[in-house]
Protein backbone atom coordinates (compact mmCIF):
# COMPACT_ATOMS: atom_id res chain seq x y z
CA UNK A 1 0.00 0.00 0.00
CA UNK A 2 1.09 3.54 -0.59
CA UNK A 3 2.66 5.21 2.40
CA UNK A 4 1.29 8.58 1.27
CA UNK A 5 -1.15 10.13 3.66
CA UNK A 6 -4.72 10.81 2.69
CA UNK A 7 -6.53 14.04 3.33
CA UNK A 8 -7.70 12.65 6.64
CA UNK A 9 -4.12 12.05 7.72
CA UNK A 10 -4.24 8.25 7.44
CA UNK A 11 -2.09 6.09 5.22
CA UNK A 12 -3.65 3.70 2.74
CA UNK A 13 -2.67 0.84 5.03
CA UNK A 14 -4.44 2.43 7.99
CA UNK A 15 -7.52 3.05 5.86
CA UNK A 16 -7.57 -0.55 4.67
CA UNK A 17 -7.15 -1.96 8.16
CA UNK A 18 -10.00 0.19 9.43
CA UNK A 19 -12.24 -1.11 6.64
CA UNK A 20 -11.39 -4.80 6.91
CA UNK A 21 -10.65 -5.34 10.62
CA UNK A 22 -14.27 -6.26 11.53
CA UNK A 23 -14.38 -8.81 8.71
CA UNK A 24 -10.98 -10.23 9.68
CA UNK A 25 -12.26 -10.75 13.20
CA UNK A 26 -15.44 -12.42 11.92
CA UNK A 27 -13.45 -14.76 9.67
CA UNK A 28 -11.22 -15.70 12.60
CA UNK A 29 -14.25 -16.33 14.81
CA UNK A 30 -15.97 -18.37 12.08
CA UNK A 31 -12.94 -20.65 11.68
CA UNK A 32 -12.60 -21.19 15.41
CA UNK A 33 -16.32 -21.93 15.71
CA UNK A 34 -16.19 -24.37 12.78
CA UNK A 35 -13.27 -26.32 14.23
CA UNK A 36 -14.86 -26.32 17.68
CA UNK A 37 -18.03 -27.77 16.14
CA UNK A 38 -15.98 -30.51 14.48
CA UNK A 39 -13.72 -31.12 17.47
CA UNK A 40 -15.34 -34.30 18.75
CA UNK A 41 -14.84 -35.97 15.37
CA UNK A 42 -11.20 -34.92 14.97
CA UNK A 43 -8.13 -36.72 16.28
CA UNK A 44 -6.40 -34.69 19.02
CA UNK A 45 -3.20 -34.39 16.98
CA UNK A 46 -5.13 -33.09 13.96
CA UNK A 47 -6.83 -30.46 16.14
CA UNK A 48 -3.44 -29.39 17.48
CA UNK A 49 -1.91 -29.11 14.00
CA UNK A 50 -4.87 -27.10 12.69
CA UNK A 51 -4.69 -24.70 15.61
CA UNK A 52 -0.94 -24.30 15.10
CA UNK A 53 -1.08 -23.86 11.35
CA UNK A 54 -4.24 -21.79 10.92
CA UNK A 55 -3.93 -19.23 13.70
CA UNK A 56 -0.46 -17.85 13.17
CA UNK A 57 -1.04 -14.33 11.92
CA UNK A 58 -2.27 -15.04 8.38
CA UNK A 59 -3.58 -12.03 6.47
CA UNK A 60 -6.86 -13.74 5.41
CA UNK A 61 -6.72 -11.99 2.04
CA UNK A 62 -8.62 -14.68 0.13
CA UNK A 63 -11.68 -14.83 2.42
CA UNK A 64 -11.65 -11.04 2.67
CA UNK A 65 -11.83 -10.86 -1.12
CA UNK A 66 -14.88 -13.13 -1.08
CA UNK A 67 -16.64 -10.94 1.47
CA UNK A 68 -15.75 -7.67 -0.24
CA UNK A 69 -16.83 -9.00 -3.64
CA UNK A 70 -20.12 -10.16 -2.11
CA UNK A 71 -20.64 -6.75 -0.54
CA UNK A 72 -19.72 -4.92 -3.76
CA UNK A 73 -22.50 -6.86 -5.48
CA UNK A 74 -24.93 -5.95 -2.67
CA UNK A 75 -25.06 -9.37 -1.05
CA UNK A 76 -27.80 -9.35 1.55
CA UNK A 77 -28.06 -12.71 3.25
CA UNK A 78 -26.26 -16.00 3.75
CA UNK A 79 -23.36 -17.24 5.83
CA UNK A 80 -20.76 -15.33 3.88
CA UNK A 81 -18.02 -15.67 6.54
CA UNK A 82 -18.40 -19.45 6.54
CA UNK A 83 -18.28 -19.57 2.76
CA UNK A 84 -15.31 -17.21 2.68
CA UNK A 85 -13.27 -19.19 5.21
CA UNK A 86 -13.18 -22.11 2.75
CA UNK A 87 -10.58 -20.10 0.85
CA UNK A 88 -8.42 -19.72 3.95
CA UNK A 89 -8.68 -23.46 4.57
CA UNK A 90 -7.58 -24.27 1.04
CA UNK A 91 -4.79 -21.68 1.16
CA UNK A 92 -3.51 -23.14 4.44
CA UNK A 93 -3.67 -26.65 2.97
CA UNK A 94 -1.46 -25.57 0.08
CA UNK A 95 1.03 -23.98 2.49
CA UNK A 96 1.23 -27.17 4.56
CA UNK A 97 1.90 -29.19 1.42
CA UNK A 98 4.25 -26.63 -0.16
CA UNK A 99 6.45 -26.58 2.93
CA UNK A 100 6.77 -30.36 2.76
CA UNK A 101 7.68 -30.22 -0.94
CA UNK A 102 10.15 -27.36 -0.43
CA UNK A 103 11.51 -28.81 2.83
CA UNK A 104 10.90 -25.39 4.34
CA UNK A 105 11.93 -24.80 7.94
CA UNK A 106 10.00 -21.61 8.62
CA UNK A 107 6.53 -20.25 7.98
CA UNK A 108 5.57 -16.78 9.22
CA UNK A 109 8.61 -16.64 11.46
CA UNK A 110 8.26 -19.93 13.29
CA UNK A 111 8.72 -23.63 12.62
CA UNK A 112 6.68 -24.78 9.63
CA UNK A 113 4.03 -27.43 10.30
CA UNK A 114 6.18 -30.13 8.69
CA UNK A 115 9.01 -29.29 11.11
CA UNK A 116 6.81 -28.96 14.19
CA UNK A 117 4.65 -32.05 13.53
CA UNK A 118 6.39 -34.03 10.80
CA UNK A 119 5.70 -34.41 7.10
CA UNK A 120 2.93 -36.98 7.50
CA UNK A 121 1.05 -34.74 9.93
CA UNK A 122 1.40 -31.74 7.61
CA UNK A 123 0.17 -33.67 4.56
CA UNK A 124 -2.81 -35.22 6.33
CA UNK A 125 -3.84 -31.92 7.95
CA UNK A 126 -3.64 -30.26 4.53
CA UNK A 127 -5.80 -33.02 3.05
CA UNK A 128 -8.38 -32.46 5.78
CA UNK A 129 -8.51 -28.71 5.15
CA UNK A 130 -8.91 -29.26 1.41
CA UNK A 131 -11.82 -31.65 2.00
CA UNK A 132 -13.45 -29.31 4.50
CA UNK A 133 -13.11 -26.35 2.12
CA UNK A 134 -14.86 -28.27 -0.66
CA UNK A 135 -17.65 -29.30 1.70
CA UNK A 136 -18.24 -25.69 2.78
CA UNK A 137 -18.33 -24.34 -0.77
CA UNK A 138 -20.69 -27.09 -1.91
CA UNK A 139 -23.00 -26.60 1.07
CA UNK A 140 -23.07 -22.79 1.11
CA UNK A 141 -22.32 -21.82 -2.49
CA UNK A 142 -24.00 -24.54 -4.51
CA UNK A 143 -22.91 -26.47 -7.59
CA UNK A 144 -21.84 -23.45 -9.64
CA UNK A 145 -19.58 -22.15 -6.87
CA UNK A 146 -18.13 -25.61 -6.26
CA UNK A 147 -17.34 -25.92 -9.97
CA UNK A 148 -15.44 -22.60 -9.88
CA UNK A 149 -13.64 -23.68 -6.70
CA UNK A 150 -12.59 -27.08 -8.05
CA UNK A 151 -11.44 -25.56 -11.34
CA UNK A 152 -9.17 -23.20 -9.38
CA UNK A 153 -7.83 -26.09 -7.30
CA UNK A 154 -7.00 -28.07 -10.43
CA UNK A 155 -5.26 -25.00 -11.89
CA UNK A 156 -3.11 -24.73 -8.75
CA UNK A 157 -1.88 -28.28 -9.14
CA UNK A 158 -1.26 -27.81 -12.85
CA UNK A 159 0.70 -24.64 -12.08
CA UNK A 160 2.93 -26.53 -9.66
CA UNK A 161 3.68 -29.19 -12.28
CA UNK A 162 4.43 -26.50 -14.86
CA UNK A 163 6.79 -24.81 -12.41
CA UNK A 164 8.62 -28.13 -11.92
CA UNK A 165 8.95 -28.53 -15.67
CA UNK A 166 10.20 -24.96 -16.06
CA UNK A 167 12.88 -25.52 -13.41
CA UNK A 168 14.02 -28.82 -14.92
CA UNK A 169 14.19 -27.39 -18.43
CA UNK A 170 15.47 -23.96 -17.29
CA UNK A 171 12.57 -22.51 -19.24
CA UNK A 172 13.06 -18.73 -19.33
CA UNK A 173 9.84 -17.91 -21.17
CA UNK A 174 7.81 -15.11 -19.60
CA UNK A 175 4.70 -16.73 -21.07
CA UNK A 176 5.39 -19.91 -19.13
CA UNK A 177 6.15 -17.96 -15.98
CA UNK A 178 2.80 -16.18 -16.16
CA UNK A 179 1.07 -19.52 -16.80
CA UNK A 180 2.68 -20.81 -13.60
CA UNK A 181 1.66 -17.87 -11.40
CA UNK A 182 -1.87 -17.81 -12.79
CA UNK A 183 -2.21 -21.46 -11.88
CA UNK A 184 -0.42 -21.35 -8.53
CA UNK A 185 -1.89 -18.14 -7.15
CA UNK A 186 -4.11 -16.07 -9.43
CA UNK A 187 -6.87 -18.59 -10.22
CA UNK A 188 -7.62 -19.18 -6.53
CA UNK A 189 -7.80 -15.44 -5.84
CA UNK A 190 -10.01 -15.02 -8.92
CA UNK A 191 -12.27 -17.81 -7.63
CA UNK A 192 -12.52 -16.13 -4.22
CA UNK A 193 -13.76 -12.96 -5.90
CA UNK A 194 -16.07 -14.67 -8.37
CA UNK A 195 -17.70 -16.85 -5.72
CA UNK A 196 -18.36 -13.75 -3.63
CA UNK A 197 -20.27 -12.37 -6.61
CA UNK A 198 -22.13 -15.64 -7.16
CA UNK A 199 -23.16 -15.73 -3.49
CA UNK A 200 -24.57 -12.20 -3.85
CA UNK A 201 -26.61 -13.15 -6.91
CA UNK A 202 -24.53 -10.95 -9.23
CA UNK A 203 -25.08 -11.16 -12.97
CA UNK A 204 -22.56 -12.96 -15.22
CA UNK A 205 -20.87 -9.73 -16.35
CA UNK A 206 -20.23 -8.68 -12.75
CA UNK A 207 -18.91 -12.14 -11.84
CA UNK A 208 -16.55 -12.11 -14.82
CA UNK A 209 -15.33 -8.63 -13.87
CA UNK A 210 -14.58 -9.89 -10.36
CA UNK A 211 -12.82 -12.92 -11.82
CA UNK A 212 -10.59 -10.76 -14.00
CA UNK A 213 -9.88 -8.42 -11.08
CA UNK A 214 -8.79 -11.44 -9.04
CA UNK A 215 -6.60 -12.84 -11.83
CA UNK A 216 -4.70 -9.56 -12.15
CA UNK A 217 -4.48 -9.01 -8.39
CA UNK A 218 -3.32 -12.59 -7.86
CA UNK A 219 -0.65 -12.37 -10.55
CA UNK A 220 0.65 -9.13 -9.03
CA UNK A 221 0.60 -10.73 -5.58
CA UNK A 222 2.77 -13.63 -6.79
CA UNK A 223 5.17 -11.31 -8.63
CA UNK A 224 5.72 -9.30 -5.45
CA UNK A 225 6.12 -12.58 -3.55
CA UNK A 226 8.83 -13.60 -6.01
CA UNK A 227 10.47 -10.19 -5.59
CA UNK A 228 10.42 -10.49 -1.80
CA UNK A 229 12.17 -13.84 -2.09
CA UNK A 230 15.25 -11.85 -3.15
CA UNK A 231 14.69 -8.46 -1.53
CA UNK A 232 12.67 -9.31 1.57
CA UNK A 233 13.82 -9.37 5.17
CA UNK A 234 13.70 -12.96 6.43
CA UNK A 235 12.58 -11.62 9.83
CA UNK A 236 9.49 -10.16 8.13
CA UNK A 237 8.82 -12.83 5.50
CA UNK A 238 9.60 -15.75 7.80
CA UNK A 239 11.42 -17.43 4.90
CA UNK A 240 15.05 -17.71 3.90
CA UNK A 241 16.05 -15.02 1.38
CA UNK A 242 16.98 -16.42 -2.03
CA UNK A 243 15.24 -19.74 -1.58
CA UNK A 244 13.66 -19.55 -5.06
CA UNK A 245 17.12 -19.25 -6.60
CA UNK A 246 18.43 -22.17 -4.55
CA UNK A 247 15.46 -24.25 -5.73
CA UNK A 248 16.07 -23.22 -9.34
CA UNK A 249 12.65 -21.60 -9.76
CA UNK A 250 12.30 -19.55 -12.92
CA UNK A 251 10.67 -16.51 -11.34
CA UNK A 252 10.34 -13.11 -13.00
CA UNK A 253 13.35 -11.39 -11.35
CA UNK A 254 15.62 -14.14 -12.68
CA UNK A 255 13.98 -14.21 -16.12
CA UNK A 256 14.31 -10.42 -16.51
CA UNK A 257 17.89 -10.45 -15.23
CA UNK A 258 18.84 -12.97 -17.90
CA UNK A 259 17.27 -10.66 -20.49
CA UNK A 260 18.72 -7.41 -19.16
CA UNK A 261 22.15 -8.29 -17.74
CA UNK A 262 25.42 -7.82 -19.58
CA UNK A 263 26.63 -10.86 -21.56
CA UNK A 264 29.23 -11.64 -18.89
CA UNK A 265 26.71 -11.40 -16.03
CA UNK A 266 24.22 -13.49 -18.00
CA UNK A 267 26.78 -16.25 -18.45
CA UNK A 268 27.63 -16.07 -14.76
CA UNK A 269 23.97 -16.44 -13.78
CA UNK A 270 23.55 -19.42 -16.11
CA UNK A 271 26.66 -20.97 -14.59
CA UNK A 272 25.32 -20.56 -11.06
CA UNK A 273 22.05 -22.20 -12.10
CA UNK A 274 23.79 -25.44 -13.12
CA UNK A 275 23.39 -27.25 -9.79
CA UNK A 276 21.93 -26.66 -6.35
CA UNK A 277 25.26 -26.30 -4.56
CA UNK A 278 26.32 -23.55 -6.98
CA UNK A 279 22.97 -21.85 -6.52
CA UNK A 280 23.19 -22.07 -2.73
CA UNK A 281 26.70 -20.60 -2.68
CA UNK A 282 25.89 -17.96 -5.29
CA UNK A 283 22.65 -16.45 -3.96
CA UNK A 284 24.31 -13.18 -2.96
CA UNK A 285 26.13 -12.82 -6.27
CA UNK A 286 22.98 -13.61 -8.26
CA UNK A 287 20.97 -11.07 -6.26
CA UNK A 288 23.57 -8.39 -6.97
CA UNK A 289 23.41 -9.11 -10.70
CA UNK A 290 19.61 -8.86 -10.64
CA UNK A 291 19.77 -5.53 -8.84
CA UNK A 292 22.41 -4.07 -11.17
CA UNK A 293 20.62 -5.21 -14.31
CA UNK A 294 17.38 -3.45 -13.37
CA UNK A 295 15.49 -6.74 -13.09
CA UNK A 296 14.03 -5.92 -9.68
CA UNK A 297 12.72 -2.55 -10.87
CA UNK A 298 11.31 -4.19 -14.01
CA UNK A 299 9.59 -6.84 -11.91
CA UNK A 300 7.91 -4.20 -9.77
CA UNK A 301 6.70 -2.31 -12.86
CA UNK A 302 4.97 -5.47 -14.11
CA UNK A 303 3.15 -5.83 -10.80
CA UNK A 304 2.09 -2.18 -10.83
CA UNK A 305 0.65 -2.54 -14.34
CA UNK A 306 -1.37 -5.58 -13.28
CA UNK A 307 -2.83 -3.71 -10.30
CA UNK A 308 -3.94 -0.92 -12.64
CA UNK A 309 -5.63 -3.52 -14.87
CA UNK A 310 -7.27 -5.14 -11.85
CA UNK A 311 -8.81 -1.87 -10.70
CA UNK A 312 -10.31 -1.31 -14.14
CA UNK A 313 -12.15 -4.64 -14.01
CA UNK A 314 -14.14 -4.00 -10.83
CA UNK A 315 -17.91 -3.63 -11.21
CA UNK A 316 -19.41 -0.26 -10.34
CA UNK A 317 -20.68 0.22 -6.80
CA UNK A 318 -24.31 0.97 -6.07
CA UNK A 319 -24.96 1.93 -2.46
CA UNK A 320 -22.81 2.86 0.54
CA UNK A 321 -21.87 -0.69 1.50
CA UNK A 322 -20.84 -1.49 -2.07
CA UNK A 323 -18.81 1.72 -2.33
CA UNK A 324 -16.94 0.89 0.87
CA UNK A 325 -16.21 -2.60 -0.44
CA UNK A 326 -14.94 -1.17 -3.73
CA UNK A 327 -12.65 1.17 -1.82
CA UNK A 328 -11.28 -1.77 0.18
CA UNK A 329 -10.64 -3.76 -3.01
CA UNK A 330 -8.76 -0.79 -4.47
CA UNK A 331 -6.68 -0.39 -1.31
CA UNK A 332 -5.86 -4.10 -1.41
CA UNK A 333 -4.06 -3.44 -4.68
CA UNK A 334 -1.87 -0.90 -2.90
CA UNK A 335 -1.26 -3.39 -0.11
CA UNK A 336 -0.09 -6.01 -2.59
CA UNK A 337 2.48 -3.61 -4.05
CA UNK A 338 3.89 -2.40 -0.75
CA UNK A 339 3.78 -5.51 1.42
CA UNK A 340 6.96 -6.61 3.13
CA UNK A 341 5.95 -10.20 3.92
- Non-local (6+) Cβ contacts of 243 within 8 A are 102, 104, 229
Give the pLDDT score at 236.
61
Burial profile 196-218: b = 16 or more Cβ within 10 angstroms, e = fewer: bbbbbebeeebbbbbbbbbbbbb
Three-class SS of residue 158?
A: helix
Rg, C-alpha atoms of the chain: 20
End-to-end CA separation in angstroms for the chain: 12
Give the pLDDT score at 234.
67
Taking the C-alpha atoms of residue 268 and residue 278, their distance in angstroms, rounded to an integer, is 11
Taking the C-alpha atoms of residue 56 and residue 172, their distance in angstroms, rounded to an integer, is 35
Give the pLDDT score at 172.
87
Taking only the tens of pLDDT, the chain with its 341 residues reads: 344 444 445 678 889 989 999 999 999 999 999 999 999 999 999 999 999 999 987 789 999 999 999 999 999 877 899 999 999 999 999 999 999 988 888 888 889 999 999 999 999 999 999 999 999 999 999 999 999 999 999 999 999 999 889 888 888 899 999 999 999 999 999 999 999 999 999 999 999 999 999 999 999 999 999 999 999 776 665 566 788 899 888 999 999 999 999 999 999 999 999 888 999 999 999 999 999 999 999 999 999 999 999 999 999 999 999 999 999 999 999 999 998 76
Domains of the chain: 12-338 (1.10.600.10)
Q: Do residues 218 and 97 lie in contact, with contact meaning Cβ atoms separated by under 8 Å?
A: no
Give the pLDDT score at 340.
77
Burial profile 220-234: b = 16 or more Cβ within 10 angstroms, e = fewer: bbbbbbbbbbbbbee
Q: Which candidate, 155, 153, 175, 154, places its Cα nearest to that of 166? A: 175
Amino acid sequence: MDDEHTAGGRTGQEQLLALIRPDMEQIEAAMRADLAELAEDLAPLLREILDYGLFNGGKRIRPLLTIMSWRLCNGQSGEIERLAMAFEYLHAATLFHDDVIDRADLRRGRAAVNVAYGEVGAILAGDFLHARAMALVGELGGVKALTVFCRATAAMIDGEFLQLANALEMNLSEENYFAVIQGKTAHLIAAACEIGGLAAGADPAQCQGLHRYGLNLGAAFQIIDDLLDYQGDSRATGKAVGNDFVEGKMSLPLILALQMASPADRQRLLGLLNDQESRRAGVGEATAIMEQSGAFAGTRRRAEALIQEAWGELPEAHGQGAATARQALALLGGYVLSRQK
